Amino acid sequence: MDRLVIIGGNSLKGRIRVSGAKNAALPCIAAALLTSELVNLSHLPAVSDIRTMLKVLEALGCAVERAADEDGLQYTAAMRAVDLETGEMKAPYDLVKTMRASILVLGPLLARFGHATVSLPGGCAIGARPINLHLEALARMGAHIEIVQGYVEAKVPGGRLQAIDHTFEKVSVGATENTLLAATLANGTSVLRNVAMEPEIGDLAELLNKMGARVEGMGTATLTIHGVEILHGAAHATIPDRIEAGTHLCAAAIAGGDVVLERVRPDDLRALLDLLERMGCLITERDGADGKQLRIQREPSQKLRARDITTAPFPAFPTDLQAQVMAVMTQAHGISVIKETIFENRFQHAMELERLGANLRIDGSTAIVAGPAKLTGCTVMATDLRASATLVLAGLVAEGETTVDRIYHLDRGYAGLEKKLQGVGARIERVGGGSV
């Protein structure tokens, strides 16, 4: 099993190209199930979650061809979902258990074929992650849903889902995506209220509209979807990954230096940019050859200031960057307070940060971080995707050698993180055959 070994102390300088967004690509891959024509998605990050999602499509009978980009960190997938009816229409437990986003195939399969069987995703390290909001919305559209031996078995009597006017009782990214996917082929006009406004949903809606769907209201809390009879093929480039970009910004903030990120969307990162500026980093935006660029500067001698954050749905501070900013806060002068409002168990990185020397306290859904703390390298264990990234960030400033174990978590969502950090001067190396 691979691990990452980091020698702390270098500041960072140079350019990093941000890959396509995993969390935007996952629902876009599911969208390919809505048509028998070719859906071509580029800028897919070379991460294991994307590979898993493509395997789910293949298990359902969809033909998938992959072509890697030159740097091997992104690729294009050409997907054609023809003749699926002849198969089982079943997303198996073995795949779904490794990645919860597999549940996103349920909406498209029901909308196009009127039936589907998808394994229940099971437990998750960052807290209970039910799918009741997905199932409630699909049931209101006319699906009969039963849980049988760990599987969601869903059928639409009459074959076609009906449009709904629906208010989600809680903001959910996945439930918004699943219902949006389903509503594109439903009979009539759906109005979905209290939807998630994350940029990844705008990207999905954009692809769906290229496929002939009629989705309105992107970027707002209400989506209107005029159902159509049939969707066609399309080509689409995945938006840049705001969480990957945010992780690199945190790397430059904690280690100090001067880093330019290429292919970013600053508007997707406002809450983090605002925090890092308030903590003392200088951030500037400019136009680049293929999209915007962000430059972050901090002299290593320049003090970081403690600041507070509360995670909440977009456009507020993202839960997916909470762990990374906790690492930065360990180096800030004063007390920083983090309130996590999305997931109940998303502070597992805190204990590993403490092993490196961080001075912090967890009180329910609040973390109190006192800084600056002197971090000293040791072996730490990654517990989930973003927690892994945090430990890497802490390793950049820890004295001596930090070894991050169980980085298969990291490989679920970061394409070549160590290569990109090496490119800006970090001393980080992937080593095979690690313990655990």
Residues that bind ligand EPZ (CB under 6 A): 23, 26, 100-101, 128-134, 170, 172-175, 196, 200, 319-320, 342-343, 385-386, 413
Euclidean distance between the first and final Cα of the chain, in Å? 7
> C-beta of 222: minimal distance to ligand EPZ in Å?
17
Looking at the chain, the number of H-run helices and the number of E-run strands are 14, 25
Using the structure block, give the residue that is written with the tokens 């980009």: 69
Strand 90-91: give its sheet, edge to edge: 90-91, 115-119, 151-155, 144-148
Residues in a beta bridge with 380: 404
Cα 29 to Cα 68: distance, rounded to the nearest angstrom = 16
Would you say 418 and 2 are in contact if contact means Cβ atoms under 8 Å apart? no
> C-beta of 328: minimal distance to ligand EPZ in Å?
17
List the catalytic residue out of 124, 250, 281, 378: 124
**Quick one: 80 or 384, whose CB is closer to ligand EPZ?**
384
Catalytic residue status for 281: no
Closest CA to 411 of 381, 382, 385, 372: 385
**Quick one: 10 or 322, whose CB is closer to ligand EPZ?**
322
> C-beta of 177: minimal distance to ligand EPZ in Å?
7
Residues in a beta bridge with 45: 74
Using the structure block, give the residue that is written with the tokens 């970009």: 245
Using the structure block, give the residue that is written with the tokens 């330019």: 260
Burial state string for 370-396 with b = 16 or more CB within 10 A and e = fewer than 16: bbbbebebebbbbbbbbbbbbbbbbbb
Cα 56 to Cα 50: distance, rounded to the nearest angstrom = 10
Phi, psi of 331 (to 5 degrees): -105, 0
**Quick one: 298 or 386, whose CB is closer to ligand EPZ?**
386
Closest CA to 50 of 17, 82, 24, 71: 24
Residues in a beta bridge with 434: none
Q: Residue 164 in 3-state DSSP?
A: coil
**Quick one: 21 or 380, whose CB is closer to ligand EPZ?**
21
> C-beta of 122: minimal distance to ligand EPZ in Å?
13
CA gyration radius for the chain? 22
**Quick one: 6 or 173, whose CB is closer to ligand EPZ?**
173
Q: Residue 178 in 3-state DSSP?
A: helix
**Quick one: 23 or 331, whose CB is closer to ligand EPZ?**
23
Closest CA to 117 of 138, 83, 146, 137: 146
**Quick one: 332 or 387, whose CB is closer to ligand EPZ?**
387
* Burial class of residue 147 (count of CB atoms within 10 Å of its CB; 0-12, 13-18, 19+): exposed
**Quick one: 241 or 405, whose CB is closer to ligand EPZ?**
241
Closest CA to 115 of 82, 161, 80, 70: 161
Closest residue to ligand EPZ in the complex (CB)? 174
User: Catalytic residue positions?
Assistant: 124
